Amino acid sequence: MNIYLAGQIYTITSFMLILSGTVALHRQLYGRWSVLPLIAFPLLYNNVFLVGTMNYVFGIGLSIWAIGTWIWLRERSLWLRLLVSTLFVLALFFCHLDRHLHQRAVRSLPHRPIANRRREQARELKPKPAPLVSAPRRLRK
């Protein structure tokens, strides 16, 4: 799978998780379906998304679903609530841990620091002075 396609699928999944979570939470709180929670749609494209912390955006959707599921399970067994909540907490933990694992993985790769690569690229782009050449001699007959 192409990395760009995987990123697009992850972004759409994160957005759908938030939207469906708001709809499910509204259903659990008010007991009926409504289009009112779709007001969250224009708020998806926000500063957090622009910064590039997609694991945080995914975690927002997951936490909305966790709240809705907790409300749905409030009348059920304590052990079931504990099990489901533990699974959500573990998933949210890995959403936050993802950033640290990514940084560690990138640091372990054998690569040159970005500053060195940029310096080398700048040297390649810098115009080189023309070599000093004496005027050509005229050929005489």
Domain ranges of the chain: 3-111
pLDDT at 95: 82
Mean pLDDT rounded to a whole number for the chain:
79
Percent of the chain with pLDDT over 90: 31
pLDDT at 56: 83
Query: Which one, of 38, 37, 56, lies nearest residue 46 by Cα?
Result: 56
- Cβ(44)–Cβ(66) under 8 Å? no
